[in-house]
Structure 1
Amino acid sequence: MKRRGRFAPTPSGLLHIGNALSALAAWLQIRQADGEFILRIEDIDKPRSRPAYAEQQQDDLLWLGIDWDEGPRAGGPHAPYEQSKREELYEDALQELLRKGRTYPCYCSRSELASIASAPHGLSSEGAAYPGFCRHLTDEERAEKEAKKTPALRFIMPPEPIEFLDGSSDSPIRYDGDALGDFVVKRADGMYSYQLAVTVDDAAMGITDVLRGADLLDSTPRQLALYEALGKQPPSFTHVPLVMSESGERLSKRDKSLTLASIRDGGAQPERLVGAIAYMAGWVDRLEPVASRELIPLYRTPRQSDGPFILTDRLLSWITES
């Protein structure tokens, strides 16, 4: 079976250099394996997503030398490739979880959830673990709350540990389900969660390899629990180190100077940006312009022990040299 990978940006802003490294690594991994690469637009959060950003992201990827076999502009057997058009699939999966007793309604107020979110939780995709306030409500208590508030739906994490091999780690990674907490699969306003949508889409599209940034590492045990609950085969996961500034801060879509669009508009050549990424990732041993396709035989998986990658002022100046 051919390996199938994907890049799945959220069109809530422009791609930055850190996104470019993740996209390039995912693309190189699959091209080196002679597999199929899919682009999916994760616009499930409709209020934050903008079609113009989705179009710009695709232009930026093509400028960088990253193409795709399936996705927007290319089509394919798993269309549509925009999450906002795939909600029936998410609802079907949600109904299956309901039938299996794997969810419960959550009536917590914004202030209660804010107090949980403000607790220390480190680098976590879901924030601090939900302590299960609504998990053991009686039928009477639920009926009383239902009359006052539309609930969200939370997925019940299994109590046993979840362990998996990560392509960027030398040893298995282990999480305790109780420590992660139950997470929302459908919000009170009707929006399906990232965790549910990405799991359903990756399974439906036959994705075999997920490569993404280390900030999503703790999404993996949650998604593995969903795969198990839905009876689906999970892909392999690889979480590459993040790109940080010299001051140790994560790159942000809000920093316009680090977006691919601004770098392009400034007249930089894509080979210089690719060369800088390859140098940071250790795919080449010297700083020089290089085309994305030239890296296919040179690619190796970045290790967590290698990172984070530091985008120095020197590197940024070199990228933008004419």
Structure 2
Amino acid sequence: MTESKSCKSCTEVSCSAKRRKEGESEEEFAKRQKRAQRLCGIRRRLVVMSGKGGVGKSTVAVNLAVALAMKGYRTGLLDVDIHGPSVPTLLGMEGRPLYGQEEGLIPVECDGLKVISAGFLLRSPEDAVVWRGPMKSNIIRQFIEEVIWGELDYLVVDCPPGTGDEPLSVCHTLERVDGALIVTTPQKLAAVDVMKCINFCRAVRVPIVGLIENMSGFVCAVCKSVTNIFKKGGGRELSEKMGVPFLGSIPIDPEIVAAGDEGRPFVRAFPDSPATKEILKIVGEIENRFPEEVKEKEPREVCV
């Protein structure tokens, strides 16, 4: 793996790491330049957030990353959901070790998708993470600052739920976040937490790509029709109320649940599923948001 270009040879005039900030020590400036050097090869940095747990945020993040990789984009997936790192399970990567070298940590590769997860640090998925806030913030900083990502078109970050220390550490350490995708469910209780998430993004000046309504309806295993078992249109109503784009509604599909348990991203396992079609539509919205992206000529194969 190779490092990105150094700050000395960088021609990006607008990069904040080229100039020392007022009151910043030499050591702090050097650390910031090192971080910028690691991240400058990442064209777009997207965070996937939710106001509360249990809304399927990680499932959405994984399948968005896989869908981007399938379309030929060089994609990284960073799982910083410290207390619930489910990305290794969803990708069938449990038990994979995390290696490092003198230059930094090496992402675990899964057929073209570069993955870093707190789950790779656990001896087993059942291990509890008993860490206080400062330690969690430190591991998030290490995952962002010390990983050799190389050149990426997209880095998808699966954030912990809520608006606490961890999401704040992610946004602060990344310095530039190109967009947030906020996952919710149709229930009113989830909507209240999403409003907080939207206001958090606005407070830390993170652009909101849009709102994704997950678990929106139930897919019949026989006829594949979608039945609305919860309130219909809650996500769209909330997006209109808060003035953010609505990206799509992903229904509950029993096949998707089984695929996740087996470590198979549903966008590959079930390409004709209504949920897959919604994910691909959301990816299209992301592409429209960042139209200047240049992807590889050939689509990548990703693990199932």
Q: Which has the higher strand share?
A: 2
TM range (shorter): 0.3 to 0.5
- Larger radius of gyration, structure 1 or 2? 1
| TM-score of the superposed pair, with normalisation by structure 2 | 0.36
Q: Which has the higher contact order (CA 8 A, sep 6+)?
A: 2
| TM-score of the superposed pair, with normalisation by structure 1 | 0.35
